[in-house]
Amino acid sequence: MDGTFSVTIPNLAALQEKLASYPEISAPIIQNAIVASQAILAGNTNATTVPVRTAYLVQNWGWQVGQFFARWFPMATYAPYVEFGTGPHIIKAVNKRVLANTATGQIFGSVVHHPGTKANPFLERIIAASQGAIDDLFNQALQTITDAISAQAE
């Protein structure tokens, strides 16, 4: 006895052939899970997770989907300033002689030294609220792939 052990896998050639079709089986299932995740993200993009002043930030989101990726993003131009905050900065009057709040009648002058804005990480809240359901979606996709590969191997 030389200490060598051998394991035989029945139908190895057939199994290898079936596994070779894995991308063909898995690609559409994974892509469907990616597309379905948009509904979960959209459902969690609401007044609970996103700051609401005018509702514009809550209501204006885009969705881009490609092969094995997707992007859910705010379309409000000011979204990064809300998400990440701002440092201190100077605001200068451009179209008027002074800066003013027309609603309150308050006049600030032609230059304001703004102290900055604290970050309000709403994207983290959307992701946290969506993570469990998206995990379930992809676990279900994995099970579907496993079942499909098993069915072919029989």
The domains of the chain are located at: 25-85+120-154, 88-116
pLDDT value at position 1?
47
Along the 154 residues of the chain, how does pLDDT read in single tens digits? 455 545 455 666 766 676 667 888 888 998 999 999 999 999 999 999 999 888 999 999 999 999 888 888 999 999 999 999 999 999 999 988 999 998 999 999 999 999 999 999 999 999 999 999 999 998 898 889 888 888 876 6
pLDDT value at position 28?
92
pLDDT value at position 22?
80
Q: How far is residue 95's CA from residue 114's CA, in Å, rounded to a whole number?
A: 19
pLDDT value at position 125?
93
pLDDT value at position 19?
63
Q: How far is residue 44's CA from residue 106's CA, in Å, rounded to a whole number?
A: 37
pLDDT value at position 46?
95
pLDDT value at position 8?
54
Q: How much of the chain is helix, strand and coil, in % rounded to 5?
A: 45, 20, 35
Q: How far is residue 2's CA from residue 35's CA, in Å, rounded to a whole number?
A: 55
Helical axes 22-43 vs 122-153, angle rounded to 10°: 150
Instruction: Give the DSSP letter string of 71-96.
Output: EEEE--TTHHHHHH-B--EEEE-SSS
Taking phi over 0 as left and psi of -120 to 50 as alpha, with beta for the rest, 104 belongs to alpha
pLDDT value at position 40?
94
How far apart are the two ends of the chain, measured CA to CA in Å? Answer: 36
Q: Radius of gyration over alpha carbons of the chain, in Å?
A: 27
